[in-house]
Structure 1
Amino acid sequence: MRGDTSWPVTLECGDIILRPVRHRDKKVWSEVRRRNFDWLARWEASSPSPGVNLPTFAGMVRALNEQARAATALPFIIAERQPGLAAPQLIGQLTVSSISWGSAMMATLGYWVDQDRAGRGIAPTAVAMATDHCFRNLGLHRMEINVRPENGPSLRVVEKLGFRDEGLRPRYLHINGQWADHRSFALTAEEVPDGLLPRWLRERGGASGA
C-alpha cells in the first residue's frame, strides 16, 4: 500500500541533513561540482545520443521537482552542519528515482559527496536515512543501488550498509560517454525491520566511516 508521499520532506541525523534541491542552490552546487570535477567525472551519466547534452541545473531541478510531485522521485541535497558556520553547507546530492508502485514498490538510489567530506560516514548515513524514509513512510519494499565495479568509494558504502550484491549488469547505463557495466545491490524492508539507519549507527559505533 502506498504510504505518505508528501513533498517537500527534510530528514536529519546529527549534523547531516537531506533537504529538497532548490533553484537557489545553483551557485553553491555549481562550485562544489566544479571543485569535484576530477573526483566525479568518471561516474557521470551521459547521453547515448550524439549532440544531446544533459539538462542544465535549472532543467534538472524542474524535472526532479515534477517527478517529486508525481511521487516518482525524491531529489535531496546532502547538507552538513559545520563548526563556525551558521548555515548547513551543501556537500552532495542524493536522489531516489524510478519509484515504482503497484506490485513492485521499489526505487533506485544514487548519490555523490564532496571529496573533501569523503571518508567521514556521510554517504552511508545519507543513504540509510533516505532508505528508511522510503521503507517506513512511503511503504516501499525494495531499494536498489547500481555501482560501477571500479568505483571503490561507492562500493564501500553499499557494503558497509549491508546491501546484497545481486551481480553484474553488463552495459547497464551510459556513463562518461560509453555504456558501462554496473554491479547491482539491493535491500528489502524485511531485511532491516528496525531500520537501516539505527543498524548503521550501531555498527559504526562512533568510528569514522567511508
Structure 2
Amino acid sequence: MRLQVPRLRLQEGVTAVRPLVRADLDALLALRVQNRGFLAPFEAIREESFFTRAAQSREITLDGDAWTSGLGYAFAVVAVHEGRRERLIGRVALSNVVRGAWQNATVGYWISEDACGFGHASAALGLVVEFAFRHAGLHRVQPAIMPRNVRSRRVVEKNGFRHEGTAQRYLMIDGVWEDHDIFALTAEEWHARRAAEA
C-alpha cells in the first residue's frame, strides 16, 4: 500500500508520533549525538560519518522514500508540553514491510536517555501499531528484542505482543551476533484487545 508522507499526527497523553520531516534534521542530529553511547549496546556499529548532518539528512530522505514506496513508515517520537509545543525524543519505525499473503512489518524504536521512564516508548509503540492496523493495512507487526533488553521487553508486553520464540544470532549488534526474542501482534489480536478495553 503506497502512502504519501502525510501530515499525520497521533497522540496519547504527552506522547505523539508523526512522520519525520526535513525540519527535524537539527534536532535529530543533536539527539543522535547526545545518545550515541546510550544506544550503542542496542544498535549496529555506527561509523563516525553517521553522526553528521549529511548522514541524518540522508536518513530522513530514505524514510520519506520508504513512505512513498510503501516499504516502511518512520515516525518522530515527540514529548508534548503545554498543549502543542513538542520536543523530539526518539524514533519508531515500521520497516521491512512485506505485502501479498504476509502483510507484515518489523518494528523498532528508541527513546532518548533523558526521556526514558515516562512511558513514551510504550505510548509511541501503541500509536504506531494503531497506524499499522488502521491506516497501513498490515496484518502483523513483529519486534525483535535482545533478551537482556528488559525495558524494551516491557514495552512490547504492555502493548499486547506475544513472545513467539528466540532467534539465535539474529542481528549483529555492537559488533556481536546477538540472539533476539521474537514477538508478534496480529490485527485480530489488536482489535480484540481494543474491544476488551472499551
Shorter-normalised TM range: 0.7 to 0.9
1:43 corresponds to which residue? Answer: 42
2:146 corresponds to which residue? Answer: 148
Q: What's the CA shift string for 1:58-110, capped at 9, x where partnerless?
A: 22111111111001111100011124x97300011111111111100111110
Aligned residues: 194
Amino acid at match of 1:36: N
Which aligned pairs between 1:1-210 and structure 2 lie closer than 5 A? 5-8=3-6, 9-46=8-45, 56-83=55-82, 87-193=85-191, 199=197
Superposition RMSD in Å: 2.5
Amino acid at match of 2:80: R
TM-score (norm 1): 0.82
- Structure 1 segments unaligned to the other structure (5+ residues): 203-210
- Conserved in 2, the CA contact under 8 Å of 1:169 and 1:181? yes
- Conserved in 2, the CA contact under 8 Å of 1:42 and 1:175? yes
- Structure 2 segments unaligned to the other structure (5+ residues): none
- Conserved in 2, the CA contact under 8 Å of 1:134 and 1:140? yes
Residue 121 to residue 198, structure 1, CA distance change in 2 (3 Å): farther
Amino acid at match of 2:142: E
Question: How many angstroms does 1:23 deviate by?
Answer: 2.7
2:66 aligns to what SS in structure 1? helix
Amino acid at match of 2:17: L
Q: What's the CA shift string for 1:124-159, capped at 9, x where partnerless?
A: 111111111111222211000011111111011012
2:135 aligns to what SS in structure 1? helix
Q: Which protein, 1 or 2, shows the higher relative CO under an 8 Å CA cutoff with sep ≥ 6? A: 1
Residue 102 to residue 198, structure 1, CA distance change in 2 (3 Å): same
